[in-house]
Amino acid sequence: MARTHVVLLGPPGAGKGTQAKQIVDKYGLTHLSTGDILRDEVARATDLGKTAKEFMNRGDLVPDQLIIDMIRGRIEAADAGFLLDGFPRTTAQAEALGRFATIDVVLNIGLARDEVVRRLTSRRVCKGCGEIYNLTFNLAEGETTCAKCGGELYQRDDDKTDVIANRYDIYERSTAPLIDYYKRQGVLRTLDGLAGSEKVFSEIIDILTA
Ligand code: AP5
């Protein structure tokens, strides 16, 4: 594959995690999701997790320096390439990233606010393997078990309507400016997140192998 330093950009619920799992399965990149790493820190009640939990439950961003310190070593250790999911999310994070890694391509998955709310209120996630489901197309109402690993399905604490609204506001204010930031660097590719997940994935394959 030609491109091995990859960033997934997009609002909450655009499908970054869904696409990330398929991309790393196919290409063997290291999947670095700052949201997943933070949720693990919260579950283990580490110092970072205790600090991050308050920001995450409100839908606010965790302070830049904590995130940069958390992710930098993981990126530098990813010898076979990396897929960044949820990082960078602010201009300060993007500038820091640019100081310790090169980026081959930024996959920007766009999705409007109303669809984000619809998707996130109906999302369920497996506690065991992290598989992502949605009540609108691949999970029956009342089903609580993961079809892949048998783990327990749960609803994320930040997938409540008021928190989702705050997350989207913050995306527009702090993260959307990165679209122009990476466009200026000539590495941005934009995908329509409203398309089915197979179609989005096949477009990503075309971009990554071009
Ligand atoms: P994080 O975990 O990164 O959340 P997010 O960016 O808000 O993204 P989501 O995981 O909610 O959505 P997604 O785009 O992965 O969508 P998914 O594939 O699940 O961050 C959480 C929090 O951590 C932040 O709010 C912040 O507090 C903190 N944080 C993390 N990174 C940080 C950073 N860098 N700096 C500061 N703070 C940070 O899909 C959503 C649903 O839609 C699923 O149900 C799925 O099945 C469905 N779906 C997916 N694709 C499609 C499709 N094409 N069509 C129909 N349905 C689809």
Q: Is 156 annotated as catalytic?
A: yes
**What pLDDT sits at residue 210?**
86
- CB of residue 17 inside a 6 A radius of ligand 1: yes
pLDDT at 1: 67
Residue 38's Cα: distance from chain center in Å? 12
Which residue has a Cα nearest atom 57 of ligand 1?
15
pLDDT score of 3: 81
For the chain, domains (ranges, CATH) are 5-29+80-208 (3.40.50.300)
Give me the mean pLDDT over the 156-173 stretch. 97
* pLDDT confidence of residue 2: 72
pTM: 0.96
Q: Name the residue with the closest Cα to ligand 1, atom 23.
A: 35
Nearest CA to 12 out of 62, 80, 85, 98 is that of 85
Q: What is the DSSP letter of 13?
A: T
Whether 34 has a pLDDT exceeding 80, the answer reads yes
What's the CA gap between 181 and 179, in Å, rounded? Answer: 5
Q: What is the pLDDT of residues 97-150, one digit of tens each?
A: 999 999 999 999 999 999 999 999 999 999 999 999 999 999 999 999 999 999
Annotated catalytic residue 16: yes
Nearest to 31 by CA among 23, 39, 43: 23
Q: What is the pLDDT of residue 55?
A: 98
Give CA 111 to chain center in angstroms: 13
Query: What is residue 101's predicted lDDT score, i.e. its pLDDT?
Result: 96
pLDDT band at 74 (very low <50, low <70, confident <90, very high): very high
